[in-house]
Structure 1
Amino acid sequence: MTFHDRHEELDALETAFESPGHEFFVVYGRRRVGKTELLKEFCSDQPHIYFLASQEAEHRQREKFVEQIATYCNDRIPRVDGWDEAFEYLGEKLALEQLVVVIDEFPYLVEENDSLLSYVQSFVDQQLQNTESMVVLCGSSISTMESEILGHESPLYGRRTGQIDLKPFSFREACELLTYDLDDAIRSYAITGGTPMYIQLFDYARSLAENIQTEILSPTAVLYNEPEFLLRTELRTPARYMSILEAVATGHTTPNEIAGATGIGSGPLSKYLQTLRRLRLIDREVPVTASAKQSKRSRYQVADEFLRFWFRFVEPNRSSIEEAPSVVYEGTIEPALPDHVATTFEDVCQEAVWEAIRSDELGPYSEVGRWWYGEDEIDIVGLAPNDDRILLAECKWTTDPIGYSVAAKLRDKADRVRWGPDQRDQEFALFSKAGFADGVAEALDDNWSLFSLSELETLLSESS
């Protein structure tokens, strides 16, 4: 996988290393998101020791760690009997030279010996803080990184000087890698999501259909079993979590619907949902006008586009894919793909709304999200409480241009959004894959903004 973007994160690491005093950084995020590539890019211009932990016996991990230090320093490899001695040896070297030391996949070491955290604490307090060097702990196990390293109960709590929670690319950030035209780029992003490795597995000289069948539906492809691998790295018994993810991906979005689809009782389900949220595999969403803590109108959605695609189309059809992947694609996936992409299109349009706010094309809103109540739904609603102004927008991923009726329905639904004073200001926007029917723009006043794919592309590219 090649390094792409991440300029802000790279600048943060470089600025920290160049600043006076020691640095103790924590870098974490889901697997495949590009943590290792970021750290390798950072280290390429700095004197560094890079150690990649693996799942093997503790004594062998410690030996390899010490070997890595000795190799960099051209030393004879010393014998150490514990992690305290290993970090003492590292501290002696950092006292002589300013270095970056990266320990990648640090949770593997913690799995073998949770006392390691106390040894690192002593190393930071007694040796690292007296140097100009930088130590980076990196890991893909979000649960371990957040609880064992960043958590209040951790021996390392309060010692970090910075952290980077590396997230998947937004659509705008991914666009340079998605070298299709905008239409197919959105379709492709609806399948790979913003995970750099998944994006780069696709060959953009081939059609999207070919990429899906080659890189996902083939039993020998990396992505065919990827979600199972991801879940097993975080969860000892992933079966129930997989059933919940499949239920959510196939349209069961409320707790009652998920319980009905999975047969899991409401008590245990609540705990499973909390775990999946903590692992960033699902998101809980409430109407933008409601309180996230108090609202009972919550919905759940799979947080990653690739997982949403996989649990909707691959997991339920495994047996058929093994026998006839092309039949599954043509008969099951291709007909339902527009509906799948439509949800992603809403998210892309929401990105565009924020860009339009930043560029003053839409005027400032502090909150942007979806809204629903009963049978009514609006794709994007923006709130400006200080100005008593509301934005209401619809996003249409259809083959037909939007007609005036869509605008009329949106205006009607706006009256049912209970927020702000009766005399609030209202702004409207329409996003359309297929553009707009003749006469629509002329029939609407200055409170309306219309975005076809070309306007959307211009808006997103201007901010790149």
Structure 2
Amino acid sequence: MTFYDRSDELESLQTAFSAPGHAFYVVYGRRRVGKTALLKEFCVDRPHLYYLSAQEAEHRQREKFVEQVADSFDDRVPQIDGWDDAFDYLSDKLTVEDRIVVIDEFPYLIEENDSLPSYIQAFVDEQLRDTDSMLVLCGSSVSTMESEVLGHESPLYGRRTGQIDLQPFSFQEARAVISYDIADAIRSYSVTGGTPMYLTLFDYGQSLAKNIQTHVLSPTAILYNEPEFLLRTELRSPARYLSILEAVALGHTTPNEISGATGIDSGPLSKYLQTLRQLRLLDRSVPVTASGKKSKRSRYRVADEFLRFWFRYVEPNRSSIEEAPSVVFDGTIEPDLPMHVATTFEDICEEAVWELIRRGNLAPYSDVGRWWYGEEEIDIVGLAPTDDRILLAECKWTSDPIDHGLAADLRAKADSVRWGPNDRTEQFTLFSKSGFVDGLADDLDDNWSLFDLDDLNQII
């Protein structure tokens, strides 16, 4: 399989390994995000030892680890009684030859023995430090990695020399994979999101409709049951979490709305929402002008485009999909897809705003995000407090070009955004799937910027 991007992460790992002295890296992130692929790419043509942990008894985990060490150094497998002996054996070998030592799915080891971080602390402090080798702990359970490896209470706290919190691909990064034209690329990204495994499943020589029916709506396809699989690997009783994700995907975004849609009382609901956020399946947001921790105007959204698509279209229509998937696509998904894509388009336009800021094509803004108050909403608002400057932008995924009316509406809504002094500088931006009516650009002043899909393609 082709390895895409991750150049910054690879450079970080390569620099750490090449530098004098030992290195201890922590790599973590959601399942399917490409951690193992990154580490295997890093290890190519470098002396390494790669151990993939499994959910099995501790003694078997330890035996397999020692077998992997012995195999890496072409040695006879010794008799080992405990993890301290296992790391002593590894240390003896590293005195002879430096290695990259990768322990993948480290949380599986902690499940069987929560003292593992202490054993590794002793290994790092007393043995690894005297080598030029590199230890990498990798895991998909973000909460476990953050608490048991990176957290203040962990024996390993302060030992790491670097960490990588691996994120899904942005649209800009995913563009290297998605070979459709810009409009279909945006539609496709709204289905797969930036998870590398999902992106690379699609055959971009086929239509998006064909890919959805083949890889998502087919009961034999990997993605058909993927969200259930992800939740069952993280949670013992995923039913309520599934119902929350479905409610949010269908547009119930405030805690009160989610409670009403799921029947879960607000007390227990807050714990479920917190768990889903820890698993990076839900995002909580507040208006960009509000305080993140204190604001009561929070909204939730499914954190992954594919999961949002699945809970919006697949989960509610399981029975029909089992019988006639093409009918579900033609009658339910395709007519509604523009509404789904519109949210993705807003995120992509926000990416474009940051890129324009980096290039200097837009003035700098320190905070960029959504804004809402009551019934008023603005897709993108940027704040530059030191300059008393504000950016207000709308993103329209519609079949009609943007006209003077929408520009006037955005200018009027600016007065509702209570931020900065009365004489603040206001800049306006419009992103449009279908362009703009003739004469609009000429009728707007220099505080306005207009971008169609061709422009967006050049920016990304």
Length-normalised TM-score, structure 1: 0.98
Gaps of 5+ in 1: none
Q: Could you say what the CA RMSD is over the residues aligned between the two structures, in angstroms? A: 0.9
Question: Which residue number in structure 2 is paired with residue 384 of structure 1?
Answer: 384
Give the deviation of 1:45 after TM superposition: 2.6
Question: Which residue number in structure 2 is paired with residue 10 of structure 1?
Answer: 10
CA distance, structure 2, for counterparts of residue 209 and residue 59 of structure 1: 49
The residue identity in structure 2 corresponding to 1:60 is R
Gaps of 5+ in 2: none
Matched, 1:309 2:295: no
Deviations 1:343-365 (A, max 9, x none): 00000000000111111211111
Matched, 1:119 2:116: no
Question: Which residue number in structure 1 is paired with residue 318 of structure 2?
Answer: 318
The residue identity in structure 2 corresponding to 1:360 is G
Matched, 1:169 2:169: yes
Matched, 1:154 2:169: no
Matched, 1:258 2:263: no
Question: Which residue number in structure 1 is paired with residue 44 of structure 2?
Answer: 44
Deviations 1:281-329 (A, max 9, x none): 1111111111111211111001100010011111111111111111111
- SS in structure 2 opposite 1:311? helix
CA distance, structure 2, for counterparts of residue 16 and residue 223 of structure 1: 36
Question: Which residue number in structure 1 is paired with residue 401 of structure 2?
Answer: 401
Give the deviation of 1:68 after TM superposition: 1.2
The residue identity in structure 1 corresponding to 2:302 is V
CA distance, structure 2, for counterparts of residue 116 and residue 428 of structure 1: 54
CA distance, structure 2, for counterparts of residue 295 and residue 145 of structure 1: 28
Give the deviation of 1:57 after TM superposition: 2.1
- SS in structure 2 opposite 1:291? coil
- SS in structure 2 opposite 1:49? strand
Question: Which residue number in structure 2 is paired with residue 224 of structure 1?
Answer: 224
CA distance, structure 1, for counterparts of residue 15 and residue 214 of structure 2: 42
> Is residue 143–residue 234 contact of structure 1 (8 Å, CA) maintained in 2?
no
Question: Which residue number in structure 1 is paired with residue 419 of structure 2?
Answer: 419
> Is residue 141–residue 233 contact of structure 1 (8 Å, CA) maintained in 2?
no
Choose 195-204 or 42-51, whichever is displaced more. Answer: 42-51
- Percentage of pairs with the same residue: 75
Matched, 1:213 2:208: no
Give the deviation of 1:415 after TM superposition: 1.1
The residue identity in structure 2 corresponding to 1:389 is R
Q: Equivalences for 1:58-457 in 2 at 5 Å?
A: 58-457=58-457
CA distance, structure 1, for counterparts of residue 429 and residue 147 of structure 2: 42
The residue identity in structure 2 corresponding to 1:205 is G
CA distance, structure 2, for counterparts of residue 199 and residue 176 of structure 1: 10
Give the deviation of 1:2 after TM superposition: 2.9
- SS in structure 1 opposite 2:416? coil
Question: Which residue number in structure 1 is paired with residue 32 of structure 2?
Answer: 32
Give the ranges of 4+ consecutive aligned residues of structure 1 lying more than 4 Å apart after TM superposition: none
CA distance, structure 2, for counterparts of residue 383 and residue 151 of structure 1: 32
CA distance, structure 1, for counterparts of residue 279 and residue 84 of structure 2: 31
Q: 1:2 to 1:55 in 2, by over 3 A?
A: farther
CA distance, structure 1, for counterparts of residue 144 and residue 254 of structure 2: 29
CA distance, structure 1, for counterparts of residue 183 and residue 150 of structure 2: 41
> Is residue 2–residue 37 contact of structure 1 (8 Å, CA) maintained in 2?
no
CA distance, structure 2, for counterparts of residue 231 and residue 33 of structure 1: 15
Choose 354-363 or 53-62, whichever is displaced more. Answer: 53-62
Give the deviation of 1:224 after TM superposition: 0.5
> Is residue 286–residue 295 contact of structure 1 (8 Å, CA) maintained in 2?
yes
Deviations 1:158-204 (A, max 9, x none): 21111100000000000010100000000000010000010000000
CA distance, structure 2, for counterparts of residue 53 and residue 22 of structure 1: 23
CA distance, structure 1, for counterparts of residue 217 and residue 244 of structure 2: 22
CA distance, structure 1, for counterparts of residue 273 and residue 72 of structure 2: 46
CA distance, structure 1, for counterparts of residue 67 and residue 327 of structure 2: 53
CA distance, structure 2, for counterparts of residue 15 and residue 419 of structure 1: 43
The residue identity in structure 1 corresponding to 2:62 is R
CA distance, structure 2, for counterparts of residue 425 and residue 143 of structure 1: 42
- SS in structure 1 opposite 2:24? strand
- SS in structure 2 opposite 1:415? helix
CA distance, structure 1, for counterparts of residue 220 and residue 201 of structure 2: 14
Give the deviation of 1:3 after TM superposition: 1.4
Give the deviation of 1:111 after TM superposition: 1.3
Paired residues, number = 460
The residue identity in structure 2 corresponding to 1:248 is V
CA distance, structure 2, for counterparts of residue 238 and residue 43 of structure 1: 36
CA distance, structure 2, for counterparts of residue 382 and residue 150 of structure 1: 32
Choose 49-58 or 87-96, whichever is displaced more. Answer: 49-58
The residue identity in structure 2 corresponding to 1:357 is I
The residue identity in structure 1 corresponding to 2:183 is D
CA distance, structure 2, for counterparts of residue 56 and residue 273 of structure 1: 30
- SS in structure 2 opposite 1:436? coil
- SS in structure 2 opposite 1:79? coil
Give the deviation of 1:232 after TM superposition: 1.2
CA distance, structure 2, for counterparts of residue 70 and residue 201 of structure 1: 36
Deviations 1:16-47 (A, max 9, x none): 11111111111011111111111011111311
CA distance, structure 2, for counterparts of residue 53 and residue 163 of structure 1: 20
